[in-house]
Structure 1
């Protein structure tokens, strides 16, 4: 085995039993990436992540929610063709399971509007536990992803934080570690092209979702473009939602909702509407609230959502595939959805 692999890759059974801790969730074939730069080491005692205890901090959002219009903002505009309101979420379908402790939670995604050389089958994955999260695993297609062999590993020039990253129009958008700055990383040229602070956003554990994980800043994509959810001191922990220009990362429009961020487990955008999930651990959770940017109003929902593996740390929507992508306790999962016709 080449020297680069020793201490960095967890070998397949029968090859080696040492160095079980690894920064790779699924090992590439030996010496596949000998030119990768060194990655900082860490151990079980130095994991830089935050988990809030479900028993103590996961509060039903209904206990703090008051349904009323938010302060007036102009509507975002007409919804995309085929848009509607979420009415059903299907059963979870598992595509892959992480093999090491680094994969307890993370983020995986496909680009709804890919640019060459990427396609709608290209898949990316990031393991979100570590003191210096920089590795982005790229897979040419879903079969390669399911087998666990990346075609390429990107090393980000700046560390990212948490599970709020997304891929859109050939770039990875992510929150820089321990800051309110969002960066745009061009996956083809492998450089950060834009980075911008989200004004007044809390970060690094100030306003996370109920499960923790420094999920203060969460990026999303839907039929209408690029979004970011967060909170501020002024909003007193309520979810603030902003529409971003994907080229410049400038804030185009902002809404302050009535939904307390730490009282919901996660959120995602569909057709300009923000949806939240009641629990990251309950087997029978629900999509429990919707916030419509077109009317600046919220309403409670009760749409079944199953946390099959008991720890959903990432939920995102892919508008091209019309599926939810989630990371549930080491498992990479999708859900079919159904929208009402409007």
Structure 2
């Protein structure tokens, strides 16, 4: 070995070098002067991190939200019943019955309070334990960082900081004008400028069994049904549904009690089965894509009668023009139904419009009738969902696992389109299979990978 090679070796690696030369052979004994890497400490950190992830899950944390929402709803119902009792003038004929009902409601509220106290105590203990484990892991990782002789971690942190600053700078440079909307006189709202939330976030009684579904309220309820909620799950291959589940209040839906099931058909799939997750309820009728046809089905919730109306014969159906993004396709979402202040719409695509979105107003007579129609230049499979507000169509697209973006709008009065809205929806799950606007409370109702959520729409 030459002297120059020996010199290079000793500079690059902090080793002690011993050389013995016998003829043309060269033998080197290398000894590492650095301390051994403590693999057992790293393994301990990995184990603790896995235990924390297993102990603190989104499913467990939603239990507390459910109990709080349920408690709020029961207290509100109790206040209403007490007010009704105070107004009664039946000469004590029904007073004892009303008092018994109130007594039972007090017992149910006390039971919810006990469950809430137990859950809160468990979460407090879990939080204290997790905080101690995190502090221990932090100290251990700081010790292990001393072995990073090349300062890779330090440079990575610096790179992340620079990336964040660049992203903030880009966002400031790309600030856009407020999105278009209809004049306030048309439905009493100003410009939609933001989406906040979620306000509600919970699994249904089915758990994670059915990732495709829909839920919400009747946009035009019958007197006495103003507080009812409906839920549809695609219980067959994430494609078909054959019944509607109704709840008297939001709290009973979240707690999974007191449901009423109304069956459209006896099984899946068959004639008049629901195909795809995009359904809405309006004036006590469910609107959805009829099984294996390009027709709109209207299902009367009281009489269980079904009426249909056909869309144009070149309408995409049976997974021809579904919602999609580069990572996945939302199966059998060819037709999207939406409600706003003026009624029901169906959003779809046709071959004559080159696969671009078509909007049709549905006259909610019996049978239903396809009314005014608008053609857009939005290619349907480049979006992930649509909804209507005050006669304006909004479309969303997938950005990443945490964000969905409202990027497009079409005004059915002015026929103006925009592709640069940049309104972000913060997601709790990866995919949004269904969303719809409720004109009664101005909320977006979302079904996302088996979770049900609501978001607030913010108007200027």
| Range class of TM-score, shorter chain | 0.7 to 0.9
Segments of structure 2 that go 5 or more residues without pairing to the other structure are 1-181, 266-271
Return 95-104 or 173-182, whichever deviates more. 95-104
Return 138-147 or 81-90, whichever deviates more. 81-90
| Larger RCO, structures 1/2 (Cα 8 Å, 6+ apart) | 1
- 1:244 and 2:350 equivalent? no
Change (3 A) 1:277 1:251: same
Residue 107 of structure 1 contacts residue 163 of structure 1 at CA under 8 Å; is this kept in 2?
yes
Residue 280 of structure 1 contacts residue 307 of structure 1 at CA under 8 Å; is this kept in 2?
no
1:83 match? 189
- 1:337 and 2:457 equivalent? yes
1:113-132 correspondence to structure 2 within 5 Å: 113-116=220-223, 118-130=224-236, 132=240
State the alpha-carbon separation in 2 of the partners of residues 271 and 287 from structure 1: 16
1:289 match? 408
The answer to which structure has the higher helix fraction is 2
Change (3 A) 1:249 1:261: same
Give the TM-score of the pair, scaled to structure 2: 0.55
Residue 79 of structure 1 contacts residue 224 of structure 1 at CA under 8 Å; is this kept in 2?
no
**Counterpart secondary structure, 1:92:** strand
Residue 281 of structure 1 contacts residue 311 of structure 1 at CA under 8 Å; is this kept in 2?
no
**Counterpart secondary structure, 1:301:** coil
**Counterpart secondary structure, 1:276:** strand
- 1:196 and 2:302 equivalent? no
State the alpha-carbon separation in 1 of the partners of residues 348 and 405 from structure 2: 21
Deviations 1:128-183 (A, max 9, x none): 24155202111111111011124310110321111111000111111111111111
- 1:109 and 2:216 equivalent? yes
Change (3 A) 1:274 1:152: same
Give the drift of 1:81.
Answer: 3.1
State the alpha-carbon separation in 2 of the partners of residues 317 and 297 from structure 1: 21
Deviations 1:212-247 (A, max 9, x none): 220001111101211110001111111111111011
- 1:176 and 2:290 equivalent? yes
State the alpha-carbon separation in 1 of the partners of residues 308 and 400 from structure 2: 33
State the alpha-carbon separation in 2 of the partners of residues 206 and 235 from structure 1: 14
Q: Which has the larger radius of gyration?
A: 2
| Counterpart among 223, 234, 242 of residue 341 in structure 2 | 223
State the alpha-carbon separation in 2 of the partners of residues 308 and 136 from structure 1: 25
**Counterpart secondary structure, 1:111:** coil
Segments of structure 1 that go 5 or more residues without pairing to the other structure are 1-75
State the alpha-carbon separation in 2 of the partners of residues 178 and 323 from structure 1: 31
Change (3 A) 1:77 1:252: farther
The answer to which structure has the higher strand fraction is 1
**Counterpart secondary structure, 1:144:** helix
